[in-house]
Structures are given as structure tokens and as C-alpha cells.
A and B are shown apart, each in its own frame.
Chain A
């Protein structure tokens, strides 16, 4: 298939362009993005063509006027965790750095479809944390109060209010984990994950960013303590700035620059049921049973739970966790027993030693990273790209990612939302 080398006519998406193209049987839609050959030199290289890398490139071009950017992706864009998560977005965090960071992301989600002219289907259906024990209620209210004082929406729901909002929940007193109440973030919800990668790719491409798929970085070039470019399976590419956006493989890519990270890679499974007519219009999570669930617009119940609890780069998990997640589902939603498990899959999580991300400059000049997402990467995508772009462009962090440094561990400034300590798989 011939690839136009020049920028394609970028056609605005709308019901009108859809109708116009219907007349011609949709045979004239332009490419969503080009697949250009690599140039020998760029002003910046972003390693990783997932949501974070594409968002970084987009904001580099849009916010900082650095459009001569290459996004280097070893596989196909959006092929990592961007397309493997349970699509939940929220900013219901306790600690200030997390709260302010994820709230920036929420604000960007709210306008992203229009920003990108690509419907990412931000669905503010609410994220509800179920609370099963008095100590959980205490902690949730402490967190909810912190959210409100930080200007983030949060409300406490009584058991009756929870039952009214999610009728299929077993709110009876004899449930194994009786529901005492819930903490709701009304603006929380879901976003269509693939659309985020594709929307950022299309918008970045339109601003002149080169997206290089099937192009794996094999080496990071460093001279006099400063990064000078990368070597790839499609040749060497020079650039004074290189940003890593390769969550899941951050340790591997950072090692190309001789760095060790406070990160372990673990597999997290997700699964969907067969599609059924609407039964659940809120994202429901339970910390006590390690479970979260929502219903996609297609009707599938999208579920997840704990890590598999061993280091892994295999995008596949094992049965015990699947069985526990489904068991948790049926403990909370007994009427789902005859629905069927349709598909399970796994993604690779960057599990940091304090459960919070790293969006920072690295000890090599010009080298930056955004990663270390643990479970939280998808909802962070816009803010991660926005702040990583800022950090790449300015060579120093923005106020909102100043706390997410690599040095915080040695300094004792960890951001441990759970208080779980330096054990990667416990976050």
C-alpha cells in the first residue's frame, strides 16, 4: 500500500464528514497517521508508541513548539498497556502529589475528545469504592476529605445510597464482606482505551510528529554524560532529547543507558464477560476483596483484581487470580453467576517501590522518563504526556511532577499512598 510522504489532508471528524463520506462509500478517508521512514535526526525522540509516548509527542509539538519529534515503537502503536487495561479514570487519591497529578489528568480527559477531534468516549459514570469495615470507612473518609480540600469531587454514600445506585450489589448484612458504605468520585469513569492512542497519534501526526512503528530501540547513545540519540532496528537516529515512555519495560530500556530503577515488572490480568444488556452503570471497586468492575458500552463486564505476584514480562497470567477475581465478582454481584467469561489477558506493570510513578529527568543529561505506573497508568495518560513533554522541553520538571523523581527513594521522599513499603508487588 503506497504511503504518502507528505502530510495527508487531515479531515475533521464530525457527523457531517461521516455523512459526506457515506455518499462515496467511505473510500476517501485519509490515513489517520502516516508511516514515514525515519529521519536521521530529530529535536526529540520519544521511545514508546503507547498512550504516554504519543501524548508526550503531541504536547511537545502543541505546547512547546517542538514538532520535529519521532515516536519510536517496537511493535504497533497502542499495543502495550494502553490497549490492555480496564479503561478506568479517576483522581481519588489521598496524598497531595498524587491527587494534584491525577486531577490534572481528569481535567484533560474531560476535554480530550475535542482537543484531539477524536471521540475517546470519556464516560463520567462515577467510580465507587466499596467499604466493608469500619477501618476502611475511616480511611476512605480521610481520603475523601483530602480530595475535597484539594478541590476534587468526592461524596460519601451510605449503604442505602450504594444499593440504590448499584442495584445488583449484594448489600445484605450477611454478605461475606458486608457493605457499610462507599466513597464516590462522580467525575471518575471510563475512557475508550484504544481511542486514546489513536487520537493522540492522529493529532501528533497532524502536527508533524513522525510515528515509527516496527522500530525497536537497541541502544541509547550517550556522550559526555549527555544523550545523543538512539540506535534502532531501522537505523541510528540522533536527538538531543530522549524520553522513555515504555512502562512495563522501563527497567529494560533504562538499562540501555546503564541505569537501574526501583521497579519490578509484574503481570496484571484483566478479563471481560460476554456482552449483556446494561446491568451496571458505575465503576465499582473493592479494596477488601481486591476487585474492580465496570460494564463497557458494548455490554461486556470488564473486571480486574490483584497482580499474579511474581515478576513477569509475559503478557499472560494464571488461573488462581482469574478464579479469585471472578469469586470476588460473584460475592458482590451474586446475580452474575450465569454470565460467561469471554476473554482474559495480561499486561506488564512497572511496579515501583512506593506505588507512585516516576516522571523525571534521569542521571543522563537530556534523558527523561515517564513510567512506574503500577496499576495506574491508563488514567494518567494525558497528564503524564503533558508533564513529560514539559520536562523534556525544559530539562526540568513542572511543579506537578516535581515530586515524582528518581532520587526520592534515596532521599526518603517516597510517595507511598498505601503505606505498603518498599515491596514492589504490595502496591
Chain B
């Protein structure tokens, strides 16, 4: 921030009394480096207006000076950069920022200053920049990168505010809630609805985006409800609902999205700025019924210069007086086509704002309503049948030219405030998000809710109803109806709140006033600088659907999503096409209703909590022993255990070598483990695996291969028969969940007649593989059974107990080998895993046992030629491609088998599993290498296959690899090139069978 200038005179536009502000709490804030004063209860917008600051921003495209036009969430212009550093927030609507002491805000999208903005040059050449101009130019030079040149400058010019460069310190949360009736909006209709529903015994949630309930009724001293003044009634009802045990009142809470099955998303802004404080909370409210009392947004009328600072929507000008005791100007011209602006004029007049004229497009004969009558009685000058043709001024409106519609007579009126009202648009956003339909209402000249598609009803201004009395009655009825729909009826239904009915005259649709001088822009969408001429151009060029208009002109695509602009744009489109507005329709209303902080949308599930991190029962031991971890899906697994001075790869090589010479132990707990019990398990397994299991003896294990429905290899693992009707199946780490779900489907849905029960026990068991020539000797020292080959042959499973310092640990002992060495797997209850693990290491210490990680495990299995699902079995390979065609039992059916015989799956050009050895030991096989015949051939260079797994084999002192190779089994003995253009690396490799160590398996059977 720049050095503050001398504080401006204190709040020259603040009224001496009135308003829902707390004058006992003065607040100091800073805007664009200048200090100002305000009061608690102010918004940044009201405080700025109180200090006479109207110019607050520059428009997106032409950088035109812009002021505050609204008093709520629909504000299109007054977007500011709030706060600084990591807490800075771009594009915040000044009309929704509650003022706090020390608030710092700055205007956006201007340089060097708001008053003197270089970007305003765009305004000077705006005639060169009509809607969609960028589709017609910036095409020279004719180079693929040509646009990048222009884009660079366009990107810098665009973009409004600036995002923080440091991490957001804010905290956010999510909360789920259920209720009978959710009432969105706590204006008169919403309060009446909530009260009626609660009185009927419904559990009610009421939310409102503002600080306190009341909506447009806040501060309206003139009105009365149930015989008391409106503010008093609001306070009473607010207290009543807040105290009601069945009612939850949520202030500062915006319903941003209406989703399927009556789930409504709310975002609650929690007061307080400290970073440790919860900043925002998203509610997922599942409501049995919803009442939408979301009110209405006033719309402007387009005329030349209608975007000058000092131009406000009439209702907003009134709100600033009544709610915040702020005069938005000294001398006002009110321009309207309906009665509500007359009421606003009276409020401004009473507040000491001189009403220079009420310019009403309607003829005098149409001004029959209550408020025009009051205006006449107050001697306010009314120019009926007249329009504002254009406003004059540079950084602030200085006056307007008014023309009579029939005589054409013109007059200039000096003013510093223009209050405009083109009518009101119900806030139908949530109704439409809930798939409700809309109807164009000619009397209101806007779209109102028609049929609802979910358990929802609209009430009050949101439903197009006119006036306080009607809103109260409709809200009350909607509340009772919502409760009644849930069979909740009050014994003695409370009476509807009553207010005096003010007669209103008819509104006359008026969208834009033709400019006298060609090319003088009349704005439809303030934020995106869409003018009436842009709409005309779009139609002229054939962009005549509402979506084309929106996308070609960017109408309604700003951060305000066109809340004030869309209906005007649609009406102008209809006029130009000479079609009824109804037939034009609207663009689709998309969530969110107003922009929602990304942090709040993510809630807790961000950063480290985006996904759970899975750790094995042995994780702490790994960490304590210097493991370098690697992620495998959600799991953390030890890559290797580097010693001082060792690289992780050195360590892995040491570990791998040690397994072949002595023994090693590796954590295999992440493997999926599923227990199957029941009479028909064997039948199920025979249908799920390609090989047979009905003939698997109790106490024996067998490797199993599983296909997808399309015949492609899905998963592999071991199947162990623990007892006649009790099996243990292991899956790969990645497929554990999918295989379990599939088995459950088959058991529950396809073959319910099978007596099989499946339980996932992955987390319940800790598993470790002990491999190496000395593994049996080590095992013998700590288990209570004979582990000689005669007693525990290869592919046997048995029970035993492991003796540990912590006591005897029950275990399952499997004699299976992934490393190719003599090996055993110990499965013990997870909580006893560490005891088992340490006992094995202690028992093997003098025999040279070492723990080894996934990298050494990978090296060992590559040397042995064992496949990995995900590498060799890549979702495109068949059992035969992997050299396991014989495993597919010819005598039985299994899942995937029928499609195995499709022509392409038995063709000779299949990529088959082979082993590769690098010609020169010094030259590594590059990572992710492809196999080609001629490495120097120009692209496209046909690929014969690719390396799937590779390693430096410490036991063969060579770079070896497994690969999938076109017709690979026929190429044994030939040489090819493994190349990596990415790494600019290549090596000549010799093709052979995929087994480098102990191809006949003597070691593992030993």
C-alpha cells in the first residue's frame, strides 16, 4: 500500500441519525491508500459512499470509470482487492464486505491510478473493439505461435484482481445437516415461511446471505407489520426464531447451489479475520422441502452514459439511506418505468437529497399507484412520458439530458446522482438449478418461476409477487404448505403477518433508450462492457440464440453472472428478432449463485488430506531404520534402507545381492488379502481363475491368474486352502479393492446359489516375506514347527507360532517365493507384526539377514522373470502373451475365457513377454525405453515393443529387462535397440527368455 494521504473530512454524506449502524463503534479503514472512517454495520460500499467515494473501479474491457450501483450481491462494478499478502482476496464486491477496523482495500484493473488509468485508452479506441473483435483479427503473422504474441498482452490486460502468491492461511470446514424445511432468504417472505413451518412442528433451517435478517425490509421505518414498525417486527421475529428449539438461523450464509434430491449447498462466512479462526463453512443440507424466498434484483435501463459513477439502482440508493444512513448524492434524477422508484425518491427526499426530477417513461395517466401519488403530494417534480437520453460527466455524473417521448422536447438537468429502475427480476437461480421451469410474465416484464422439479416452492419477490403484504402472505402460505406436505400441521395455525397493501400502477417494459449520437455506448452488462450495440452486432451476424449472444458478447459472464444484465440483454435480443421474450428463453443458471471461495469448496479434503495415506503396520520400523519411502497408490512403501554414504540404488543392489547370498525380509502387507469360506469356494475360484482350484489340497497354495471379461489379464496372486471350506486369496496391492468388489458381485448377484462368504482381511494381517538360502535356518530358530522341506514343501501353507520377546505370535506360514529363492511368507495379526518382524531380524542377524525394500524386491523378481500386474500385465496382455497360456485350463470355463479366442487375441503379431540383456554392462537400459530395429531411422520409427521393467542385476552384473515384444518368443537370440529419445539414450539389447536366474526353479524348491 502507498503512504496514506491526509484523511478525508469525516463522512460528509452520513446522515445525522437513522440506519442500522452502530455509531458508538467508529471504524477506520483504508481504500487506495487513503484512510476513511465508517461505523460498525457499514459495508465497505456504504462507508465509501458516506465519504463521498463513488469511483471504485475500472471496467473489464474498456477500463471505464465505474462506481457502486447496487447494495447487495448483484453488484457488477464495485469489485475490490481486499486485504494484502497471503490473505489478499481479488474481485470482492464492496457491497458485501462488512466493514471492520483496519480494513485495507484497493481498486483493481487500473494503472497507474484509479483516476488516471492508462488502460482507459481502450475506451478511446473502443470502436475498434466491438463484441467478438478478437475473432476477426490478431491472425497475422501466419505462424502457429502467432497468437501467442497477442495473447501475452491480452492476458496482462485482462483478469481484474490479483491472486495471492502465498498459501492461504485460512481454515475451512464442511458440515452435513438434515431438516424438514430449508428456507433460503430471511426477508419478509422467508421469515413468514420459517415461522409458519416451525409453528407446524417442522425442523427448519433459515439461511440469509446478509448479516441480519430482514432483506429489503431492513431499516424501512415507514412500513409496519402486524401493527408495529417493520424494524421492530423484524427484531421480534428474529428473536422468536433464534430462540425456537426447532429452528436454526444461519446469517452470512449463502445458498450457492441446488443439487439432486434436494441437497442444497450453503456457504457460511464466519466473522473474524484471524487465520487460525474458521473462515468459511460449507453446509450440505439435505432438506425434505425447500422454500426459496431469495428476493429480487432490480434491473437498470440502458442509455448513453448509464455507467457513470453516481448512477445507482433506485432500490440501492434507498437502501443506503435507510440501512446505512448514507446520502448517495446531493441532487438526484430518478429514472424509472415502475412505482418502486417513486417510493425510493420519497425516501431520498426525506433524507435531504434534492429530487431534481422523477423521469418516468410511463404517461401521466399510468401513474395511478400509491407511491406516485405520494410523490406528487410531496411536490416532487415528475416528468411523465419522458426518458433519460444520456448522462454527462467524466469520472462522475454531472447531469442528464431528458427527452419527452411524444413531444421530443429535451431539457438538461444537473445532478450528481441518477437512480434508475427498470423493474425487478426475481432471483430464480436456485429454482432453475433445481431444474424448475420459468415463465415470462408480461406484467412484470421478467421471468418468474413456473413448474418446480423438486420438493421446492418459491415465495415472495422471488416468485414475482409484488409488495410487502403479498410477500408476507405468500411466505406464510409456503411455510404452512411445506410443513403440510410432510404431514406436519399446527393445531392452531398462526395467523399470517399482515401489512397495509399499497396499490401499484402497471410497469411499462423499457429496456434501452436509443442514443442520440451514434456510437455513444449504452451499457447492458456493466462488468463485461457489453453495450446495446454489441447485442445488435451479435444479432446482425447471426449469433441469435441466447447462448450465442452470451458467448459472443460475454453478456452475463462476469463475476456477477449478469444478475442485473441478463434479462435486459434477452429482451433486447427479442426486440431485434421481433419475437416474444418467452420464445427466446434464458441461458442455463449454473451453480454457484455467487462465487464461492475455493478453500471453502475443498473444506478439509485439501492438501495432505486430499486422499488418505496408507501405512503398513511396520511403517514406524521402516522409518526408524532409514527407509526411503515410495508411494504405491495410496500406500507408502520402503524403497530401500540406505546406509550412510549409500544412494538408494546402492542400497537396493546391496539388499538384492544379500537375498541371493544370505537372506532378506520384505514387508508385503500391502498385498490384498481376502478370506473365502463356504462349501462352494472351489467352484467360485474355478470360475474366477484361469487355472483349477477344486483339486487344491488342504495345506497347499497355488498361483492364480484372473482375467477380465474381455479375456485380458486382470490380476494375479496366491490361493491357499487353509481348511476344506476355508481359503485365503491374495491380490496385487493396486487391485485389492476391485477384486473384492467383483467377488462380492459374483457371490451376491450372479451366483447366489453358491455357499461362499468373502471378507477382506488386508488390514487385519501383517505379512512379511523371508527369502534367501538361509531363510529356512533363520525361520527354524523362531517358529514352533519343523520347517524342513518334507514338512513344509514348496507351495505349502500351515499354522505356527513365532516366538518373540513380546511373546508367542500366532502366524500363518506360506512357502511361496517371489524372489526366486527359497522363501517363506509369515502372516501375523497386524498389531503383532512389528514383534514378528524384529524377531526374524534378530534370529537372522548372525546369518547376515537384511531388510529389503520394494526396489530390491523388483530387482529379484525381474531376475527371476516374475511379472507385475501394471507393468508386464498392462491391461492389454493375455495369459499367452505373458507365457502363461498353459495355465488356462482347457477343461473348464472361467471369466474372460470365451473372448480369449477372438482373432486379434490369437494373432501372431501379439506383443509377448521376453527378457532383454544389454550388450555392454556399462550402458544402462534407459528408463521407459522402446524397442526398435534401427535407432537412427527418422520418425515415425516403428516400435516393435517396449521395456516394461528393468534393473541393474547385481547378481548377473548386467543391465537386464523384461519387455513386451512383437512376436517376441520367435525373436529369442536376436538383438534390438532399447531407445529413449527423451533421455537421448540407447543400448543394444539381446532378446531371450524372461528368466535370468535359476530358470528351472531349483532354488525355490530347495
A/B: CB atoms within 8 Å of each other: yes
How many pairs of residues, A versus B, come closer than 8 Å at their CB atoms? 349
Q: Pick out which of these stretches binds chain A: B64-72, B881-889, B897-905.
A: B897-905
Binding stretch for chain A, among B323-331, B338-346, B869-877: B869-877
B533 touches A25 (CB 8 A): yes
Q: Does B407 contact A (CB under 8 A)?
A: no
Residues of B near A275 (CB, < 8 A) are 60, 91, 158-160, 559
Q: Across the interface, which residues of A come within 8 angstroms of B151, CB to CB?
A: 121, 123, 297
> Are B265 and A319 in contact, with the CB atoms below 8 A?
yes
Ordered by A's residue number, 21 sampled pairs between the chains whose C-beta atoms are within 8 Å are A13-B136, A113-B146, A123-B147, A135-B871, A138-B927, A141-B927, A145-B929, A146-B930, A146-B946, A176-B607, A177-B610, A281-B155, A298-B159, A326-B602, A327-B602, A335-B167, A340-B597, A343-B561, A344-B590, A419-B712, A422-B709
Which residues of chain B (555-570) have a CB below 8 Å from chain A? 559, 561
Question: A144: CB under 8 A from chain B?
Answer: yes
Give the contacts of B693-738 with A (CB-CB under 8 A): 708-712, 714
Which of these, A29, A78, A110, A420, contacts B537 with CB under 8 Å?
Answer: A29
Please tell me which stretch of A50-58, A149-157, A232-240, A357-365 contacts chain B, meaning at least 4 of its Cβ atoms lie within 8 angstroms of it: A149-157
Determine if B928 and A139 form an interchain contact, defined as CB atoms under 8 angstroms apart.
Answer: yes
Can you name the residue of chain A whose Cβ is closest to the Cβ of B610?
A331
**Cβ-based interface call for A148 (8 A):** yes
Q: How close is A139's CB to chain B, nearest CB, in angstroms?
A: 7
Nearest Cβ in chain B — how far from A334, in angstroms?
A: 4
Contacting A at CB under 8 A, from B158-200, are 158-168, 170, 174
Pairwise interchain contact B547-A83, C-beta atoms closer than 8 A: yes
Q: Choose among A319, A335, A342 the residue that contacts B259 (Cβ–Cβ < 8 A).
A: A319
**Contact present for B139 and A117 (CB under 8 Å):** yes
Cβ-based interface call for B601 (8 A): yes
Chain B nearest CB, measured from A353 CB (Å): 8
> Which residues of chain A from 322 to 353 have any CB-CB distance to chain B below 8 Å in the complex?
322-324, 326-331, 334-345
Chain B 240-257 interface 0/1 with A at a Cβ cutoff of 8 Å (1 = within): 000000000000000001
Q: Would B163 and A336 count as touching, CB distance under 8 A? A: yes
Do A198 and B561 touch across chains, with their CB atoms under 8 A apart? Answer: no
Name the A residues within 8 Å of B162 (CB-CB). Answer: 276-277
CB distance from A163 to the nearest CB of B (A): 14
B886 CB → nearest A CB, Å = 20
CB distance from B226 to the nearest CB of A (A): 39
Nearest neighbor of A415 in chain B, beta-carbon distance: B876
In the complex, chain B residues whose CB is within 8 Å of the CB of A327 = 601-603, 605-606, 610
Is residue A287 contacting chain B, with contact meaning CB distance below 8 A?
Answer: no
Minimum CB–CB distance from A198 to chain B (whole Å) comes to 7
Q: Which residues of A contact B982 (CB under 8 A)?
A: 141, 144-145, 148, 154-156
B156 contacts A141, C-beta separation under 8 Å: no
What CA separation (Å) do A176 and B609 show in the bound complex? 8
Which A residues lie within 8 Å of B398 (CB)? none
Task: Report the 10 A-B pairs with minimum CB-CB distance, sorted nearest first.
Answer: A419-B875, A337-B168, A141-B928, A299-B159, A151-B939, A412-B902, A340-B595, A148-B981, A412-B904, A110-B144
How does the 8 Å CB contact mask read for B573-603 relative to A, with 1 for contact and 0 for none?
A: 0001110000000001011100111110111
Report A-chain residues with C-beta under 8 Å of the C-beta of B158: 275, 297-299
Q: Pick the residue among A78, A100, A135, A279 that contacts B632 (CB under 8 A).
A: A135
**A345 CA to B561 CA in the complex, in Å?**
14
Give 6 new A-B contacts, CB below 8 A, not counting A78-B551, A154-B982.
Answer: A176-B613, A198-B543, A277-B161, A335-B164, A343-B592, A421-B710
The chain B residue sitting closest to A421, CB to CB, is B708
- Residue in B127, B145, B542 whose Cβ sees the most chain A Cβ within 10 Å: B542
Which of B82-90, B762-770, B787-795 sits within the interface?
A: B82-90
CA distance A270 to B893 in the complex (A): 44
**Across the interface, do A419 and B874 meet the contact criterion of CB distance under 8 Å?**
yes
CB-based nearest B residue for A33: B542
| Stretch of A15-23, A40-48, A59-67, A216-224 lying at the B interface | A15-23
- Please classify how large the interface on chain B is, using the bins under 10, 10 to 19, 20 to 34, 35 or more: 35 or more
Chain A window 188-211, contacts with chain B (Cβ cutoff 8 Å), 1 for yes, 0 for no: 000010110011000000000000
Docked complex Cα distance between A326 and B257 (Å)? 15
Indicate which residue in A18, A322, A411, A413 contacts B136 across the interface (CB closer than 8 Å): A18
A119 and B167 form a contact (CB under 8 A): no
CA distance A176 to B611 in the complex (A): 8
B781 at the interface (CB under 8 A from A): no
Q: How far is the CB of A242 from chain B (nearest CB, A)?
A: 25
Interface residues of A (CB under 8 A from B): 1, 13-15, 17-19, 22, 25-27, 29-35, 75-76, 78-79, 83, 96, 100, 110-111, 113-114, 117-119, 121-125, 132-135, 137-146, 148-151, 154-156, 168, 176-178, 187, 192, 194-195, 198-199, 213, 273-279, 281, 289, 295, 297-299, 315-316, 318-319, 322-324, 326-331, 334-345, 410-414, 416, 418-422
> What is the minimal beta-carbon distance from A415 to any residue of chain B, in angstroms?
9
Verify B543–A32 contact, CB threshold 8 A: yes
Q: B148 at interface (Cβ–Cβ under 8 A)?
A: yes
B149: min CB distance to chain A, Å: 11
Known: A30-B541, A421-B708. A345 touches B875 (CB 8 A): no
* Least distance between B106 CB and chain A CB atoms (Å): 13
Contact present for A79 and B545 (CB under 8 Å): yes
**The residue from A31, A111, A299, A414 contacting B160, defined by CB atoms under 8 A apart:** A299
Given contacts A142-B946, A150-B939, A299-B158, contact A114 B592 (CB under 8 A): no
Q: Which of B335-387 contact A (CB under 8 A)?
A: none
The complex places the Cα of A138 from the Cα of B948 at a distance, in Å, of: 9
Given contacts A27-B540, A156-B982, A419-B875, contact A149 B128 (CB under 8 A): no
Per-residue interface assignment for chain B, residues 917 to 935, with 1 indicating a CB less than 8 Å from any chain A CB and 0 otherwise: 0000000000111101000
Give the chain B neighbours of A122 by CB distance below 8 A: 144, 147
User: Are the C-beta atoms of A118 and B135 separated by less than 8 Å?
Assistant: yes
Given the known interface contacts A1-B576, A145-B929, A412-B899, the answer about A121 and B134 at a Cβ–Cβ threshold of 8 Å is: yes
> CB of B263 within 8 A of chain A?
yes
* Pair A149/B979 contact, Cβ less than 8 Å: yes
Q: Could you tell me which residues of chain B, from 604 to 641, have a CB within 8 Å of some CB in chain A?
A: 605-611, 613, 630-632, 639
> Is the pair A17, B136 in contact by a Cβ cutoff of 8 Å?
yes
* Contact between A145 and B981, CB atoms less than 8 A apart: yes
**Interfacial chain A residues near B170, Cβ < 8 Å:** 337-338
**Given known contacts A275-B559, A335-B166, A297 and B928 CB-to-CB distance under 8 angstroms:** no
For A331, the chain B residues whose CB sits under 8 A away are 606-607, 610
A29 to chain B, nearest CB (A): 5
Cβ of B306 within 8 Å of any chain A Cβ, yes or no, is: no
Measured CA separation A139–B946 after assembly (Å) = 11
- One digit per residue, 1 when the CB lies within 8 angstroms of any chain A CB and 0 when it does not, for chain B 106-145 equals 0000000000000000000001101001111111101011
Any A CB within 8 A of the CB of B516: no
Could you say which residues of chain B place their CB within 8 Å of the CB of A1?
A: 539, 544, 576-578
What chain A residues lie within 8 Å of B806 (beta carbons)? Answer: none
Q: Is B776 an interface residue (CB 8 A)?
A: no
In the complex formed, the residue of A with least CB distance to B609 is A176
B135: chain A residues within 8 A (beta carbon): 13, 118-119, 192, 195, 198-199
Evaluate contact between A334 and B876: CB separation under 8 angstroms.
Answer: no
Contacts of B138 in A (CB 8 A): 119, 121
Chain B residues positioned under 8 Å from A76 (CB to CB): 545, 547-548
B160 close to A276 (CB less than 8 A): yes
CB of B983 within 8 Å of the partner chain = yes
Query: B426-468: which residues lie under 8 A (CB-CB) from chain A?
Result: 433
